[in-house]
Structure 1
């Protein structure tokens, strides 16, 4: 329950309710290594270290190693025998197969008895049973239950209006607002 420092950049995360919240963008993570990785990659712009390929002199980030070995050297990337999806590590293939193809669900919700593959999925689901709105807008103070709803809302304040009416060219922050506008002002016109 406190703040921790990262070298000369100062405080970069806060621990609240067993979550590690980035102080620069308010994203939260399940562990300290995850918030640290996020901070390094996103805010400090320090990308993963590149390492030399064991077969050639090309330097590649670790997450692309399996794909590089397959594309450049013909060494197959670990893949799912059922659907052909490719992965970075063989352990990811097994996890994928348990979750997608075998439908393994060992984490039980004590409220509604619904089951989930992992604790992360269960934790995300638990928010559906709560009325707590823990994601607050720093501009106007409006609060939301889901982080994605807050992200959409913030677009209002920054003027991110990417949904444009085909008829009158009026722009909107949300697709639903454009649809509402079209129904009211241009009946019979296809929105998209």
Structure 2
């Protein structure tokens, strides 16, 4: 009767022959498998030697930061000690820079201009490298010089003495003696007294030069309360003058002479600075110019 090996699908003439086949055939040899390598070994000793000697099964010591592996704990320790990637870092947060030692960081903080102590002038938005330099700036800079101001003139002076001299000598601050009737000011009480004594304004007849001019036209209804320019416009319409005709030109010239006499009567001569100042005050030119020529130029403009 035949004996069959089911795994091999082979037949043997005797049970003894089947047993010899199962013992000797490589297909029936006991297998010792390495699950990690997907390899098989024919003895337990061979599997053990594979697990011991194969690099794939050597114990690994990993550096998680570098994603590197080492074959011994000592090699990993040497890597952590010597690799620049693991050197202790001493950081300067302001500069976003790192240094290899605490001493190097300290030297950077001491020597770098970016970390030099700054002494600031808040008014000028400037910085200085020492308290002494800031003090010298505050002492010497014109921007920090003490200012002595004249509120009336809107001017500043570098010393109290200079301000005092300005207040004493400037015509704008000279004591003023005023004639209320003329709206004029004088530099002394004596000058005011002379004006009151000598000025035609204070001894004038009932008519001024403009009154005399307008009343010379017998049929014209002159109103002294009207501005001179308005009265002259009414006179032109009343007389029916046309531009350029002889009567109109003559009347215009006489009107200009009367107007100049009127101004001279009220405000004085052309070379009288006080008179010019009175005229400037009358038309709200403040502060008045300091010379007769300047006053005349402002008046004309």
TM-score (norm 2): 0.14
User: Which one has a bigger Cα radius of gyration?
Assistant: 2
Whose helix fraction is larger, Structure 1's or Structure 2's? 2
TM-score (norm 1): 0.20
Whose strand fraction is larger, Structure 1's or Structure 2's? 1
